[in-house]
């Protein structure tokens, strides 16, 4: 590849050699260091390639071997410049284009964030903007080490950060702690009880910390105390002399009855697109937008679609320029009525989707009493579900102070 590039930059020729002794011609060229390649017979003649420098050394060889040489074709950058030597604006434009690309390569035009799940790109970009790390900044002003430190200090759930510049992109990779507990540490350290967050009957209970106050088969109501975080301390006489406090921890499952109802109008409006359409093309440089055409809303009902493409040179050389198209399509609304089978299918799919979401949360469905009723204008899926689901929520434990008795009182 390098040899081909050097030949193109220096220029070379394809020549046709007519000689009674071509072997002698080739041997003399070899002795004088004249490089020939691509040799192929062409009737009684031979075609080959030679560099411009080698062609200038051929004169004594041609005279000595009585050989005739004809130039068939010219290749390379010198011949290109010679051909277009009078088109000065073309070369000025080419040089200007190269300069513009070079100037654009000095800036950061895209900040790419990868690995974030709980925090959006907008949240991290807003924080970086406070630290003066923004789109359009100079590449030499990017301090990757400082960016890593700032992100680690600001977001506690991010345990690893990597930042580096690639082309005109600032690449930021983060890794979040998947074991992060959403409840603040100050709240978790406080003594707490577990109370019922719904009405039902306890089916199973596994207590790890605290004192269980209900058992399997007990009916509970919302707000009832299930596990206490206050543990009594007794003396030899079985009298309460104090309390130990801890964070109650238990797996509690409750059988509940969940009502379900979904209503659906049978009448609906369907979009029917017409052949009328307006388009607008635009060119965008950051926030500056130049458009051609019009999509002024002159239709009673219209749908607008926008397609935008960012300009790039390769994968990581992102430019601050984008182009796109805005299209406006007219449609009219046609009133229709869902059939009974369609309504039955749609309500059933929604109900199965609802049950699937419950199962993802660890809820077990024991009984399904939901039925679909289809009227003239309205369809309803209504009934109840008998479930076994996790129950319980944390509530701060009430601190009780025990009065200490003196020896005489004892």
Residue 222 CA: distances (Å) to CA of 64, 198, 253, 339: 113, 4, 14, 42
Find out if CATH 3.10.20.310 is the number for domain 110-176.
yes
Give the whole-angstrom CA distance, residue 345 versus residue 138: 58
Q: How confident is the model at residue 239 (pLDDT cuts 50, 70, 90)?
A: confident
Sheet strands side by side (includes 12-18): 36-42, 45-51, 12-18, 68-75
Given a contact cutoff of 8 angstroms between Cβ atoms, the answer to whether 286 and 307 are in contact is no
- In the chain, what's the furthest Cα-to-Cα distance? 140
What is the 8-class DSSP label of residue 397?
Answer: P
Average pLDDT over residues 401-409: 59
Report residue 253 as tokens.
């499952």
Percent of the chain with pLDDT over 90: 33
Confidence class for position 253, pLDDT limits 50, 70, 90: very high
What is the rounded CA–CA span in Å between residue 197 and residue 270?
Answer: 43
Q: Report pLDDT for 407.
A: 52
- Tokens, residue 75: 């290749």
pLDDT of residue 404: 59
d(CA 117, CA 155): 13
Q: How far apart are CA 204 and CA 210, in angstroms?
A: 16
Identify the pLDDT of residue 80: 84
Residue 178 in this model has a pLDDT that exceeds 80: no
Instruction: Return the pLDDT at 241.
Output: 78
SS3 51: strand
- In the chain, what are the domain boundaries? 2-82, 110-176, 185-252, 261-266+338-390, 271-332
For residue 182, name the pLDDT band (cuts at 50, 70, 90): very low
* Pairwise CA distance, residues 194 & 228, whole Å: 7
Per-residue pLDDT, averaged over 83-90, amounts to: 80
Contact of 173 with 148, CB cutoff 8 Å: no
**DSSP string for residues in 370-391:** -EEEE-SSEEEEEEEEEEEEE-
Average pLDDT over residues 83-112: 86
Model pLDDT, residue 135: 85
pLDDT class of 190 with cuts at 50, 70, 90? confident
CATH pick for 2-82 out of 3.40.50.1100, 3.20.20.140, 3.30.70.260, 1.10.40.60: 3.30.70.260
Model confidence pLDDT, tens digit, residues 60-73: 889 888 889 999 99
- Rounded to whole angstroms, how far apart are CA atoms 410 and 391? 44
Quick one: average pLDDT of 262-273? 90
Identify any residues that bridge with 135 across adjacent strands, giving them in sequence order. Answer: none
Quote the CA–CA distance of 189 and 209 in Å, as a whole number: 14
Selected residue with higher pLDDT from 87 and 218: 218
Q: What average pLDDT does the segment 331-352 reach?
A: 91
Q: Which tokens sit at 273? A: 């697109």
């Amino acid at each position: 590849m390098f040899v081909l590039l050097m030949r193109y930059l220096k220029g070379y020729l394809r020549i046709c050699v007519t000689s009674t002794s071509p072997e002698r011609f080739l041997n003399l060229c070899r002795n004088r260091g004249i490089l020939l390649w691509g040799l192929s017979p062409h009737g009684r003649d031979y075609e080959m390639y030679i560099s411009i420098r080698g062609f200038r050394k051929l004169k004594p060889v041609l005279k000595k071997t009585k050989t005739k040489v004809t130039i068939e074709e010219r290749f390379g950058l010198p011949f290109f410049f010679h051909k277009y030597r009078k088109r000065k604006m073309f070369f000025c434009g080419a040089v200007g284009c190269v300069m513009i690309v070079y100037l654009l390569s000095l800036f950061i035009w895209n900040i790419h964030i990868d690995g974030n799940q709980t925090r959006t790109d907008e949240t991290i970009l807003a924080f970086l903007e406070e630290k003066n790390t923004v789109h359009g900044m100079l590449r030499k002003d990017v301090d990757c080490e400082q960016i890593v430190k700032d992100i680690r200090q600001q977001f506690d759930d991010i345990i690893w950060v990597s930042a580096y510049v690639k082309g005109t992109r600032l690449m930021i990779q983060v890794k979040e702690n998947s074991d992060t507990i959403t409840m603040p540490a100050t709240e978790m350290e406080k003594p707490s009880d577990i109370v019922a967050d719904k009405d039902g009957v306890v089916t199973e209970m596994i207590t790890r910390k605290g004192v269980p106050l209900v058992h399997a088969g007990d009916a509970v109501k919302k707000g009832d105390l299930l596990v206490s975080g206050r543990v009594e301390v007794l003396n030899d006489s079985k009298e309460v002399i104090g309390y130990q406090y801890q964070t109650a921890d238990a797996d509690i499952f409750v059988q509940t009855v969940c009502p379900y109802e979904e209503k659906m109008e049978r009448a609906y409006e369907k979009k029917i697109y017409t052949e009328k359409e307006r388009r607008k093309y635009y060119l965008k440089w950051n926030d500056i937008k130049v458009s051609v055409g019009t999509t002024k809303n002159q239709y009673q009902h219209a749908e607008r679609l926008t397609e935008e493409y960012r300009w790039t040179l390769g994968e990581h050389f992102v430019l601050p320029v984008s182009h796109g198209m805005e299209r406006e399509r007219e449609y009219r609304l046609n009133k229709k009525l869902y059939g009974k089978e369609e309504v039955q299918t749609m309500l059933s799919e929604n109900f199965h989707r609802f049950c699937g979401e419950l199962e993802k949360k660890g809820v077990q469905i024991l009984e399904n009493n939901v039925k679909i009723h289809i009227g003239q204008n309205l369809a309803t899926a209504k009934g109840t579900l008998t479930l076994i689901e996790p129950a319980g929520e944390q509530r701060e434990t009430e601190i009780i102070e025990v009065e200490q008795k003196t020896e005489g009182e004892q």
